[in-house]
């Protein structure tokens, strides 16, 4: 069974991040929750907070966002956020591996 | 025959105008590229937003949504949100839209216009000037709803915030969004879309349920309440970006035509200049010849 999944973070102005990760912690409006590979399909709204992604190389990457919505389906997470408050915006395409 | 100096002056004038129009054309071309890129950047967001909303709405009754933005009311007050450019010299870009809006009003909202329950919010100075001058009910000042000088999603949110507020308070019962849609560089399509109340598109009969067995967190209704304003903001932001790109396209075409016209004008002026010059020379020679004749005679 795979232990990574795809994630895409987009705002109305740009694509922020696209790549493969092992986990993501998002600030759901009902409370923080973590998405791991093979998570059940979910749609949840997000409130202001941090999105923390665990990258395959063991590092973490965090974005602070102003709220949005996440959809997880078939091992693919799509996060729509209205605004990135802080965090490095990735320019190039997907991560290695 | 016009005198030589006059024609020379005109040629000079037309040429310098041509330089300006040529420069403007090139500037617009560069801006157009940028505007198109921004339109493309929004597309994934907008598409995904639509998909999620469709997913959610396919299992929800519209009447269950606890959002005021879907409320259908008797149409007493109507708001038109008009997106135009801030600057002129873009051909019939704005005037075409005005004509279209006026026709739309005559056809659908003539009564509202008569009894003063038709309001305008103009994003873009040109629209503001047009409607304010013609004594339409324009809200605020030109700068209040200007977005082009600060073209960000945040600003779009801010502007639509006023609109939502007005709708929720019952100040308006229907909101239309009027803008130029970017078709290609040469062409724009004028649009008047109904923005509020939100009509939830169930996406036809074939979609009988969500694609997957989603967990909804919080409940579907709450998600929709949260997503509907977001989707409207996206829609508005898209309209602004489209209009912006279309404006640059229109200006490019208009300036290109102006440059060509200037070229033709210069050609014509040069011809008459040369004719005048020729005539003057001939006249001079005749005079000299006549003088010489007189001396000899």
Q: ipTM score of the complex? A: 0.80
Question: Residue A61: helix, strand or coil by DSSP?
Answer: strand
Confidence band (pLDDT; 50, 70, 90) for A94? very low
- Name the residue among B38, B153, B212 with its Cβ closest to that of A41: B212
State residue B285 phi and psi, 5-degree precision.
-60, -45
Q: How far apart are CA A96 and CA A18, in angstroms?
A: 11
User: A12 at the B interface (CB within 8 A)?
Assistant: yes
**What's the pLDDT score for residue A97?**
33
Residue B78 pLDDT > 50: yes
Residue of A nearest to B157 (CA): A82
**What's the pLDDT score for residue A95?**
39
- Name the residue among B45, B218, B223 with its Cβ closest to that of A80: B45
A69–B212 CB contact, under 8 Å: no
In this prediction, residues B28-55 reach a mean pLDDT of 89
B52–A10 CB contact, under 8 Å: no
Q: How far apart are CA B156 and CA A19, in angstroms?
A: 29
Q: How far apart are CA B235 and CA B156, in angstroms?
A: 10
Q: How far apart are CA B79 and CA A67, in angstroms?
A: 29
H/E segment holding residue A77: strand A76-81
- For residue B46, which residues of chain A lie inside 8 Å, CB to CB? 12
Higher pLDDT, B86 or B59: B86
Residue of A nearest to B215 (CA): A42
State residue B220 phi and psi, 5-degree precision.
-60, -45
pTM, rounded to two decimals = 0.84
Whether residue B133 is preceded by a cis peptide bond, meaning omega within 30 degrees of 0, is no
- Name the residue among B41, B48, B212 with its Cβ closest to that of A14: B41
Confidence band (pLDDT; 50, 70, 90) for B211? low
Q: How far apart are CA B10 and CA B23, in angstroms?
A: 20
Percent of chain A with pLDDT over 90: 45
Closest of B193, B257, B262, B291 to residue B11, by C-alpha: B262
Residue A91 pLDDT > 60: no
A12–B42 CB contact, under 8 Å: yes
Alpha-carbon distance B162 to nearest alpha carbon in chain A (angstroms): 18
Residue of A nearest to B39 (CA): A13
User: A73 at the B interface (CB within 8 A)?
Assistant: yes
Alpha-carbon distance A13 to nearest alpha carbon in chain B (angstroms): 6
CA distance between the termini of chain A: 16
CB B91 within 8 A of CB B100: no
Domain residue limits, chain B: 22-255
**What's the pLDDT score for residue B251?**
94
B52–A15 CB contact, under 8 Å: no
Residue B263 pLDDT > 60: yes
- For residue A78, which residues of chain B lie inside 8 Å, CB to CB? 48
| pLDDT tens-digit readout, B129-143 | 999 998 888 888 878
Confidence band (pLDDT; 50, 70, 90) for B64? low
**What's the pLDDT score for residue B154?**
87
Is residue A47 exposed (0-12), middle (13-18) or buried (19+ Cβ within 10 Å)? middle
CB A36 within 8 A of CB A23: yes
Alpha-carbon distance A6 to nearest alpha carbon in chain B (angstroms): 15
Closest of B124, B249, B94 to residue B183, by C-alpha: B249
Domains delineated in chain A: 5-86 (2.60.15.10)
| pLDDT tens-digit readout, A34-90 | 999 989 989 899 999 999 999 998 888 999 998 899 999 889 999 999 888 877 766
| pLDDT tens-digit readout, B145-176 | 888 888 888 888 888 888 898 888 888 889 99
Contacts of A88 (CB under 8 A, 6+ apart): A61
Tokens of B55: 């997913």
Whether residue B136 is preceded by a cis peptide bond, meaning omega within 30 degrees of 0, is no
Q: How far apart are CA B155 and CA B123, in angstroms?
A: 11
Q: How far apart are CA B230 and CA B251, in angstroms?
A: 31
Using CA atoms of B3, B4, B9, B11 in order, give the dihedral in degrees to the nearest 10: 110
In this prediction, residues B89-106 reach a mean pLDDT of 92
CA distances, B233 to each of B156, B162, B195, B226, B237 (Å): 7, 12, 10, 12, 6
The residue annotated as part of the active site, out of B53, B90, B122, B252, is B90
Residue B242 pLDDT > 80: yes
Domain at B22-255, CATH class? alpha beta
State residue B269 phi and psi, 5-degree precision.
-65, -40
Rg (CA), chain A: 12
**What's the pLDDT score for residue B100?**
94
**What's the pLDDT score for residue B2?**
60
User: A14 at the B interface (CB within 8 A)?
Assistant: yes
| pLDDT tens-digit readout, B83-94 | 999 988 888 999
The question of whether B90 is a catalytic residue gets the answer yes
Strand locations in A14-67 (E): 15-21, 23-28, 31-35, 42-46, 49-54, 60-65
């Amino acid at each position: 069974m795979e232990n990574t999944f795809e994630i895409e973070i987009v705002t109305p102005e740009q694509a922020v991040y696209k790549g493969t990760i092992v986990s993501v912690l998002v600030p759901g409006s009902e409370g923080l929750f973590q998405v791991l590979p093979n998570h059940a399909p979910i749609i949840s709204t997000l409130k202001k907070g941090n999105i923390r992604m665990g990258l395959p190389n063991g590092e973490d990457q965090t974005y602070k966002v102003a709220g949005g919505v996440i959809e997880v389906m078939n091992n693919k997470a799509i996060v729509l956020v209205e605004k990135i408050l802080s965090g490095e915006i990735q320019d190039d395409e997907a991560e290695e591996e | 025959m016009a005198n030589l100096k006059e024609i020379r002056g005109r040629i000079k004038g037309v040429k310098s105008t041509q330089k300006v129009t040529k420069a403007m054309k090139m500037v617009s071309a560069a801006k157009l590229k940028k505007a198109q890129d921004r339109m493309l950047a929004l597309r994934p967001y907008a598409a995904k937003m639509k998909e999620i909303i469709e997913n959610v709405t396919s299992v929800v009754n519209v009447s269950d949504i606890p959002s005021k933005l879907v409320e259908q009311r008797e149409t007493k007050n109507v708001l038109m949100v008009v997106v135009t450019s801030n600057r002129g010299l873009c051909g019939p870009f704005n005037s075409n839209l005005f004509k279209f809006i006026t026709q739309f009003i005559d056809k659908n909202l003539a009564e509202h216009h008569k009894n003063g329950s038709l309001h305008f919010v103009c994003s873009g100075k040109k629209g503001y000037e047009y409607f304010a001058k013609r004594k339409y009910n324009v809200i605020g000042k030109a700068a209040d709803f200007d977005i082009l000088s600060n073209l960000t999603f945040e600003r779009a949110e801010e502007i639509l915030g006023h609109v939502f507020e007005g709708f929720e308070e019952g100040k308006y019962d229907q909101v239309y969004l009027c803008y130029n849609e970017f078709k290609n560089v040469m062409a724009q399509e004028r649009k008047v879309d109904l923005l509020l109340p939100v009509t939830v598109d169930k996406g036809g009969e074939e979609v009988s349920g969500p694609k997957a067995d989603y967990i909804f967190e919080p409940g579907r209704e709450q998600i929709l309440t949260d997503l509907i304003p977001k989707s409207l903001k996206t829609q508005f932001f898209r309209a602004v970006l489209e209009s912006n790109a279309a404006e640059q396209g229109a200006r490019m075409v208009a300036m290109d035509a102006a440059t060509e016209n200037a070229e033709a004008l210069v050609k014509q002026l040069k011809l008459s200049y040369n004719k005048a010059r020729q005539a003057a020379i001939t006249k001079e020679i005749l005079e000299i010849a006549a003088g010489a004749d007189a001396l000899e005679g």
